[in-house]
A = this chain, B = another copy of it.
Amino acid sequence: MRVLILGCDGYIGWPLTLHLLKCDYEVYGLDTFTRRKRVNDVGSNSVTPISSKLERNEILRSYPNFPEDVANIDMLDYENLGRLISYCEPDAIIHLAEQPSASWSMRDAKSAMQTQFDNVIGTLNLLWEMKEYCPDAHLIKLGTMGEYGTPDCGIPEGEIEEICSTIEYHNPHIATQVKCPMSGLSFPRSPGSFYHLSEVHNTHNIIFACKAWGLQSTNIMQGVVFGLSDEEEDLLTRLDYDEHFGTVINRFCAQAIIGHPLTVYGKGGQTRGFLSLKDSIQYLTFALGNPSYENKYRTLNQFEFTYTINGLAQKVVDAAKKHDIDATIQHINNPRTEAESHYYNPAHQKLFNIGYGPTKDIDKELENLIENIKKYKDRIISDVIMPKTDWRL
Protein backbone atom coordinates (compact mmCIF):
# COMPACT_ATOMS: atom_id res chain seq x y z
CA MET A 1 0.00 0.00 0.00
CA ARG A 2 1.39 3.38 -1.04
CA VAL A 3 0.96 6.37 1.25
CA LEU A 4 1.80 10.01 0.52
CA ILE A 5 2.41 12.05 3.66
CA LEU A 6 1.96 15.80 3.23
CA GLY A 7 3.92 17.58 5.96
CA CYS A 8 6.38 14.75 6.67
CA ASP A 9 8.86 17.01 8.49
CA GLY A 10 6.48 18.18 11.23
CA TYR A 11 5.88 17.32 14.87
CA ILE A 12 3.50 14.47 13.95
CA GLY A 13 4.57 14.00 10.33
CA TRP A 14 8.15 12.94 11.07
CA PRO A 15 7.51 10.14 13.60
CA LEU A 16 4.42 9.04 11.62
CA THR A 17 6.59 8.65 8.51
CA LEU A 18 9.13 6.55 10.44
CA HIS A 19 6.36 4.47 11.97
CA LEU A 20 4.70 3.71 8.62
CA LEU A 21 8.07 2.79 7.11
CA LYS A 22 8.59 0.29 9.95
CA CYS A 23 5.09 -1.06 9.24
CA ASP A 24 6.22 -1.75 5.65
CA TYR A 25 4.06 0.81 3.90
CA GLU A 26 5.59 2.30 0.74
CA VAL A 27 5.88 5.94 1.77
CA TYR A 28 6.34 9.21 -0.15
CA GLY A 29 6.83 12.51 1.64
CA LEU A 30 6.23 16.20 0.92
CA ASP A 31 7.31 19.18 3.00
CA THR A 32 8.31 22.81 2.40
CA PHE A 33 9.90 23.10 5.87
CA THR A 34 7.76 26.16 6.57
CA ARG A 35 7.29 25.17 10.21
CA ARG A 36 11.06 25.30 10.80
CA LYS A 37 11.12 28.76 9.23
CA ARG A 38 8.13 30.15 11.11
CA VAL A 39 9.35 28.92 14.51
CA ASN A 40 12.69 30.50 13.68
CA ASP A 41 10.96 33.75 12.61
CA VAL A 42 9.25 34.11 16.01
CA GLY A 43 12.68 33.75 17.66
CA SER A 44 12.15 30.23 18.95
CA ASN A 45 13.48 26.73 18.32
CA SER A 46 12.63 23.12 19.08
CA VAL A 47 13.51 21.92 22.60
CA THR A 48 14.82 18.76 20.97
CA PRO A 49 17.84 19.18 18.67
CA ILE A 50 16.32 17.85 15.47
CA SER A 51 18.23 16.65 12.42
CA SER A 52 18.60 18.93 9.41
CA LYS A 53 16.44 18.54 6.33
CA LEU A 54 19.28 16.80 4.50
CA GLU A 55 20.01 14.42 7.37
CA ARG A 56 16.35 13.49 7.65
CA ASN A 57 16.13 12.89 3.93
CA GLU A 58 19.13 10.52 4.18
CA ILE A 59 17.55 8.68 7.10
CA LEU A 60 14.35 8.18 5.11
CA ARG A 61 16.20 7.14 1.94
CA SER A 62 17.96 4.40 3.92
CA TYR A 63 14.59 2.60 3.95
CA PRO A 64 13.98 0.67 0.71
CA ASN A 65 10.27 1.50 1.05
CA PHE A 66 10.93 5.27 0.87
CA PRO A 67 11.81 5.37 -2.82
CA GLU A 68 12.07 9.14 -3.49
CA ASP A 69 13.55 12.21 -1.82
CA VAL A 70 11.17 14.36 0.22
CA ALA A 71 9.38 16.60 -2.30
CA ASN A 72 9.68 20.31 -1.54
CA ILE A 73 6.41 21.31 -3.23
CA ASP A 74 3.99 23.95 -2.09
CA MET A 75 0.39 22.73 -1.60
CA LEU A 76 -0.69 25.60 -3.86
CA ASP A 77 1.52 24.53 -6.76
CA TYR A 78 -1.07 22.85 -8.98
CA GLU A 79 1.35 21.62 -11.61
CA ASN A 80 4.04 20.07 -9.44
CA LEU A 81 1.69 18.63 -6.84
CA GLY A 82 -0.23 16.97 -9.69
CA ARG A 83 3.01 15.59 -11.12
CA LEU A 84 3.97 14.12 -7.72
CA ILE A 85 0.57 12.50 -7.17
CA SER A 86 0.36 11.04 -10.66
CA TYR A 87 3.91 9.69 -10.25
CA CYS A 88 3.50 7.98 -6.87
CA GLU A 89 -0.14 6.87 -7.37
CA PRO A 90 -1.00 6.82 -3.66
CA ASP A 91 -3.65 4.54 -2.17
CA ALA A 92 -3.88 7.00 0.71
CA ILE A 93 -2.84 10.59 1.38
CA ILE A 94 -2.31 11.79 4.93
CA HIS A 95 -2.59 15.58 4.95
CA LEU A 96 -0.71 17.29 7.78
CA ALA A 97 0.69 20.17 5.69
CA GLU A 98 -1.01 23.13 7.34
CA GLN A 99 -0.31 26.20 9.42
CA PRO A 100 -1.49 24.77 12.77
CA SER A 101 -1.20 27.68 15.22
CA ALA A 102 -4.33 29.51 16.42
CA SER A 103 -2.22 32.18 18.10
CA TRP A 104 -0.07 32.78 14.99
CA SER A 105 -3.23 33.18 12.90
CA MET A 106 -4.45 35.95 15.25
CA ARG A 107 -1.23 38.02 15.22
CA ASP A 108 -2.23 40.36 12.41
CA ALA A 109 -4.11 40.56 9.11
CA LYS A 110 -1.19 39.18 7.15
CA SER A 111 -0.83 36.03 9.29
CA ALA A 112 -4.61 35.45 9.33
CA MET A 113 -4.79 35.73 5.55
CA GLN A 114 -1.68 33.56 5.10
CA THR A 115 -3.19 30.87 7.35
CA GLN A 116 -6.47 30.68 5.45
CA PHE A 117 -4.69 30.98 2.11
CA ASP A 118 -2.26 28.12 2.86
CA ASN A 119 -4.75 25.86 4.59
CA VAL A 120 -7.97 26.42 2.64
CA ILE A 121 -6.77 27.11 -0.88
CA GLY A 122 -3.97 24.52 -0.47
CA THR A 123 -6.43 21.80 0.57
CA LEU A 124 -8.85 22.85 -2.17
CA ASN A 125 -6.03 22.37 -4.68
CA LEU A 126 -5.36 18.91 -3.21
CA LEU A 127 -9.03 17.92 -3.68
CA TRP A 128 -8.92 18.85 -7.37
CA GLU A 129 -5.64 16.95 -7.79
CA MET A 130 -7.18 13.86 -6.17
CA LYS A 131 -10.22 14.04 -8.46
CA GLU A 132 -7.84 14.24 -11.42
CA TYR A 133 -5.09 11.78 -10.47
CA CYS A 134 -6.23 9.41 -7.69
CA PRO A 135 -10.04 9.52 -7.30
CA ASP A 136 -10.03 6.23 -5.38
CA ALA A 137 -7.38 7.18 -2.82
CA HIS A 138 -8.31 7.63 0.85
CA LEU A 139 -7.68 11.16 2.11
CA ILE A 140 -6.88 11.27 5.83
CA LYS A 141 -7.06 14.92 6.78
CA LEU A 142 -5.92 16.13 10.18
CA GLY A 143 -8.16 18.83 11.62
CA THR A 144 -8.92 19.94 15.15
CA MET A 145 -11.49 19.45 17.90
CA GLY A 146 -11.34 23.27 18.03
CA GLU A 147 -13.65 23.32 15.01
CA TYR A 148 -16.56 22.62 17.36
CA GLY A 149 -15.69 25.28 19.91
CA THR A 150 -17.41 24.82 23.27
CA PRO A 151 -21.18 24.72 22.65
CA ASP A 152 -23.56 24.28 25.56
CA CYS A 153 -24.50 20.77 24.46
CA GLY A 154 -22.87 17.44 23.71
CA ILE A 155 -20.71 17.24 20.57
CA PRO A 156 -21.26 14.25 18.26
CA GLU A 157 -18.63 12.90 15.86
CA GLY A 158 -19.21 15.19 12.92
CA GLU A 159 -22.90 14.90 12.19
CA ILE A 160 -26.05 15.63 14.13
CA GLU A 161 -27.25 12.27 15.34
CA GLU A 162 -30.55 10.63 14.65
CA ILE A 163 -31.94 10.82 18.12
CA CYS A 164 -31.88 14.34 19.53
CA SER A 165 -31.43 12.94 23.00
CA THR A 166 -28.03 11.43 22.20
CA ILE A 167 -26.77 14.93 21.60
CA GLU A 168 -28.68 16.39 24.46
CA TYR A 169 -27.86 13.90 27.17
CA HIS A 170 -26.77 16.54 29.65
CA ASN A 171 -30.34 17.81 29.80
CA PRO A 172 -32.44 15.42 31.87
CA HIS A 173 -35.69 17.07 30.74
CA ILE A 174 -35.35 16.07 27.10
CA ALA A 175 -37.70 13.50 25.65
CA THR A 176 -35.52 10.51 24.80
CA GLN A 177 -37.01 9.17 21.57
CA VAL A 178 -37.58 12.24 19.45
CA LYS A 179 -36.38 11.80 15.87
CA CYS A 180 -34.49 14.86 14.75
CA PRO A 181 -35.02 15.84 11.09
CA MET A 182 -31.71 17.70 11.21
CA SER A 183 -29.98 14.34 11.65
CA GLY A 184 -27.17 13.73 9.19
CA LEU A 185 -26.42 17.43 8.79
CA SER A 186 -22.97 18.58 9.80
CA PHE A 187 -22.91 19.53 13.50
CA PRO A 188 -22.62 23.35 13.66
CA ARG A 189 -19.08 24.59 14.16
CA SER A 190 -18.17 27.48 16.51
CA PRO A 191 -14.42 27.89 16.05
CA GLY A 192 -12.41 30.41 18.04
CA SER A 193 -9.57 31.65 15.80
CA PHE A 194 -8.77 32.18 12.14
CA TYR A 195 -6.73 28.97 12.21
CA HIS A 196 -9.67 27.00 13.61
CA LEU A 197 -11.90 28.68 11.04
CA SER A 198 -9.57 27.51 8.25
CA GLU A 199 -10.19 23.92 9.37
CA VAL A 200 -13.95 24.46 9.41
CA HIS A 201 -13.68 25.77 5.85
CA ASN A 202 -11.68 22.65 4.91
CA THR A 203 -14.30 20.39 6.45
CA HIS A 204 -17.03 21.97 4.34
CA ASN A 205 -14.93 21.76 1.16
CA ILE A 206 -14.06 18.10 1.81
CA ILE A 207 -17.66 17.07 2.54
CA PHE A 208 -18.67 18.63 -0.78
CA ALA A 209 -15.84 16.95 -2.74
CA CYS A 210 -16.84 13.56 -1.32
CA LYS A 211 -20.50 14.18 -2.24
CA ALA A 212 -19.95 15.70 -5.69
CA TRP A 213 -17.04 13.60 -6.90
CA GLY A 214 -17.18 10.46 -4.77
CA LEU A 215 -13.79 11.07 -3.13
CA GLN A 216 -13.20 9.15 0.09
CA SER A 217 -12.06 10.96 3.21
CA THR A 218 -11.55 10.48 6.92
CA ASN A 219 -11.67 13.94 8.48
CA ILE A 220 -10.06 13.90 11.90
CA MET A 221 -11.01 16.35 14.64
CA GLN A 222 -7.92 15.97 16.79
CA GLY A 223 -7.46 17.09 20.38
CA VAL A 224 -4.29 18.77 21.66
CA VAL A 225 -1.25 16.53 21.23
CA PHE A 226 1.65 16.37 23.70
CA GLY A 227 4.82 14.43 24.35
CA LEU A 228 7.47 12.72 22.25
CA SER A 229 7.60 9.49 20.31
CA ASP A 230 9.92 6.61 21.27
CA GLU A 231 12.68 7.31 18.74
CA GLU A 232 16.41 7.38 19.53
CA GLU A 233 18.12 10.74 19.83
CA ASP A 234 19.01 11.30 16.15
CA LEU A 235 15.45 10.46 15.13
CA LEU A 236 13.71 12.77 17.62
CA THR A 237 10.79 14.88 16.46
CA ARG A 238 10.56 18.60 17.14
CA LEU A 239 8.97 19.91 20.35
CA ASP A 240 7.83 23.52 20.43
CA TYR A 241 7.07 25.56 23.53
CA ASP A 242 6.75 29.15 22.28
CA GLU A 243 3.63 31.32 22.39
CA HIS A 244 2.55 30.33 18.89
CA PHE A 245 3.64 26.77 18.14
CA GLY A 246 3.91 25.29 21.62
CA THR A 247 0.80 23.35 22.66
CA VAL A 248 -0.17 23.75 26.27
CA ILE A 249 1.21 20.57 27.88
CA ASN A 250 4.53 20.77 26.04
CA ARG A 251 4.81 24.43 27.06
CA PHE A 252 4.02 23.63 30.74
CA CYS A 253 6.76 20.98 30.79
CA ALA A 254 9.30 23.37 29.24
CA GLN A 255 8.30 26.01 31.81
CA ALA A 256 8.68 23.53 34.67
CA ILE A 257 12.17 22.55 33.53
CA ILE A 258 13.52 26.11 33.39
CA GLY A 259 11.87 27.13 36.67
CA HIS A 260 9.27 29.37 35.00
CA PRO A 261 5.78 29.28 36.56
CA LEU A 262 3.26 27.32 34.49
CA THR A 263 1.21 30.14 32.99
CA VAL A 264 -2.52 29.46 32.83
CA TYR A 265 -4.50 31.85 30.58
CA GLY A 266 -7.39 33.31 32.61
CA LYS A 267 -9.34 31.19 35.07
CA GLY A 268 -8.11 27.88 33.63
CA GLY A 269 -11.55 26.26 33.51
CA GLN A 270 -11.13 25.86 29.74
CA THR A 271 -11.65 22.17 28.94
CA ARG A 272 -10.18 20.41 25.91
CA GLY A 273 -9.52 16.92 24.60
CA PHE A 274 -5.90 15.69 24.74
CA LEU A 275 -3.83 12.78 23.48
CA SER A 276 -0.20 11.74 23.47
CA LEU A 277 1.88 11.92 20.30
CA LYS A 278 2.30 8.14 20.39
CA ASP A 279 -1.46 7.67 20.47
CA SER A 280 -1.94 10.20 17.67
CA ILE A 281 0.39 8.11 15.50
CA GLN A 282 -1.33 4.85 16.47
CA TYR A 283 -4.69 6.44 15.80
CA LEU A 284 -3.72 7.73 12.32
CA THR A 285 -2.24 4.34 11.44
CA PHE A 286 -5.43 2.63 12.55
CA ALA A 287 -7.57 5.00 10.45
CA LEU A 288 -5.28 4.30 7.48
CA GLY A 289 -5.75 0.54 7.83
CA ASN A 290 -9.48 0.82 8.45
CA PRO A 291 -11.12 3.04 5.87
CA SER A 292 -14.87 3.46 6.01
CA TYR A 293 -16.58 1.07 3.64
CA GLU A 294 -20.05 2.43 4.31
CA ASN A 295 -19.57 6.11 3.63
CA LYS A 296 -17.37 8.14 1.38
CA TYR A 297 -16.95 10.73 4.13
CA ARG A 298 -16.49 10.18 7.86
CA THR A 299 -15.50 12.33 10.81
CA LEU A 300 -13.47 10.97 13.72
CA ASN A 301 -13.05 12.83 17.01
CA GLN A 302 -9.52 11.89 18.03
CA PHE A 303 -8.53 12.40 21.67
CA GLU A 304 -8.06 10.24 24.77
CA PHE A 305 -9.42 12.31 27.64
CA THR A 306 -10.73 15.77 28.48
CA TYR A 307 -9.16 17.97 31.16
CA THR A 308 -9.34 21.55 32.34
CA ILE A 309 -6.19 23.60 31.91
CA ASN A 310 -6.06 23.92 35.72
CA GLY A 311 -6.21 20.14 36.05
CA LEU A 312 -3.40 19.68 33.54
CA ALA A 313 -1.20 22.29 35.19
CA GLN A 314 -1.58 20.37 38.45
CA LYS A 315 -0.66 17.10 36.69
CA VAL A 316 2.51 18.69 35.32
CA VAL A 317 3.37 20.00 38.80
CA ASP A 318 2.96 16.45 40.13
CA ALA A 319 5.02 14.89 37.33
CA ALA A 320 7.78 17.48 37.80
CA LYS A 321 7.91 16.65 41.49
CA LYS A 322 8.91 13.08 40.56
CA HIS A 323 12.01 14.65 38.99
CA ASP A 324 12.65 16.86 42.04
CA ILE A 325 11.41 19.98 40.30
CA ASP A 326 9.15 22.32 42.30
CA ALA A 327 6.90 23.85 39.68
CA THR A 328 4.39 26.61 40.44
CA ILE A 329 1.24 27.78 38.67
CA GLN A 330 0.50 31.39 37.73
CA HIS A 331 -2.74 32.73 36.25
CA ILE A 332 -2.23 35.50 33.69
CA ASN A 333 -4.65 37.66 31.66
CA ASN A 334 -6.17 35.57 28.92
CA PRO A 335 -5.03 36.88 25.53
CA ARG A 336 -7.62 34.72 23.76
CA THR A 337 -11.34 35.11 23.18
CA GLU A 338 -12.73 31.99 24.85
CA ALA A 339 -15.05 30.82 27.61
CA GLU A 340 -13.01 30.12 30.76
CA SER A 341 -15.62 27.86 32.34
CA HIS A 342 -18.05 25.87 30.24
CA TYR A 343 -19.85 22.60 29.53
CA TYR A 344 -17.80 20.18 27.39
CA ASN A 345 -18.93 16.73 26.36
CA PRO A 346 -17.62 15.53 22.99
CA ALA A 347 -18.12 11.98 21.73
CA HIS A 348 -15.15 9.86 20.53
CA GLN A 349 -16.59 6.45 19.92
CA LYS A 350 -16.12 5.48 16.29
CA LEU A 351 -12.59 4.06 16.45
CA PHE A 352 -13.29 2.46 19.82
CA ASN A 353 -16.27 0.79 18.14
CA ILE A 354 -14.01 -0.87 15.59
CA GLY A 355 -11.48 -2.01 18.14
CA TYR A 356 -9.02 0.78 18.89
CA GLY A 357 -8.30 1.77 22.48
CA PRO A 358 -5.93 4.34 23.98
CA THR A 359 -2.66 2.95 25.18
CA LYS A 360 -0.99 5.65 27.20
CA ASP A 361 -1.38 6.77 30.76
CA ILE A 362 -1.17 10.56 30.97
CA ASP A 363 0.75 10.71 34.30
CA LYS A 364 3.39 8.31 33.01
CA GLU A 365 3.62 10.20 29.70
CA LEU A 366 4.16 13.51 31.51
CA GLU A 367 6.94 11.99 33.61
CA ASN A 368 8.56 10.57 30.46
CA LEU A 369 8.32 13.89 28.66
CA ILE A 370 10.01 15.79 31.48
CA GLU A 371 12.65 13.07 31.73
CA ASN A 372 13.32 13.22 27.98
CA ILE A 373 13.62 16.98 27.59
CA LYS A 374 15.29 18.07 30.81
CA LYS A 375 18.71 17.34 29.28
CA TYR A 376 17.91 20.05 26.68
CA LYS A 377 17.07 22.65 29.33
CA ASP A 378 19.73 25.06 28.05
CA ARG A 379 18.16 25.17 24.61
CA ILE A 380 14.92 26.74 25.92
CA ILE A 381 14.55 30.47 25.15
CA SER A 382 12.36 31.83 27.93
CA ASP A 383 11.52 35.10 26.11
CA VAL A 384 9.28 33.40 23.54
CA ILE A 385 6.96 31.69 26.01
CA MET A 386 4.72 34.47 27.31
CA PRO A 387 1.85 35.56 25.02
CA LYS A 388 2.31 38.87 23.23
CA THR A 389 -0.62 38.57 20.83
CA ASP A 390 -3.90 39.83 22.32
CA TRP A 391 -6.72 38.35 20.24
CA ARG A 392 -9.09 41.19 21.08
CA LEU A 393 -6.81 44.00 19.87
Contacts and interface: CB of A to CB of B under 8 A. Distances in A.
A204 B200 CA distance: 8
Nearest to A115: B124
A132 B192 CA distance: 20
A173 interface: yes
B205 A194 contact: yes
B204 A197 contact: yes
A18 interface: no
B182 A171 contact: no
A313 interface: no
Interface string A191-202: 111100100110
A208 B181 contact: no
Contact of A153 (B117, B181, B192): B181
A391 B212 contact: yes
Interface in A280-326: none
A171 B181 contact: yes
A73 interface: no
A179 interface: yes
B185 A151 contact: yes
Interface residues of A, number: 55
Interface in A166-187: 167-168, 170-171, 173-175, 178-182, 185-187
Interface stretch (A89-97, A105-113, A244-252): A105-113
A178 B174 contact: yes
Given A121-B117, A180-B164, A182-B153, A197 B205 contact: yes
A313 to B, nearest CB: 25
B173 A175 contact: no
A152 B160 CA distance: 13
B208 A191 contact: yes
Given A117-B117, A152-B181, A160-B188, A194 B392 contact: no
B109 A120 contact: no
Contact of A181 (B76, B168, B213, B337): B168
A165 to B, nearest CB: 9
B205 A204 contact: no
A128 interface: yes
A187 B186 contact: no
A78 B187 contact: no
Contact of A179 (B171, B189, B391): B171
Contacts of A78: 109-110, 113
A178 B178 contact: yes
A299 to B, nearest CB: 13
Contacts of A212: 192, 337, 391-392
B337 A211 contact: yes
B112 A116 contact: no
A192 B181 CA distance: 20
A125 interface: yes
B392 A213 contact: yes
A190 interface: yes
Contacts of A132: 109
A121 B198 CA distance: 11
27 contacts: A78-B109, A109-B125, A109-B128, A112-B128, A116-B120, A116-B121, A116-B124, A116-B205, A117-B117, A153-B182, A160-B182, A164-B164, A167-B181, A167-B182, A168-B180, A170-B181, A171-B179, A173-B179, A175-B175, A186-B188, A186-B190, A191-B208, A197-B201, A197-B205, A200-B201, A201-B204, A212-B391
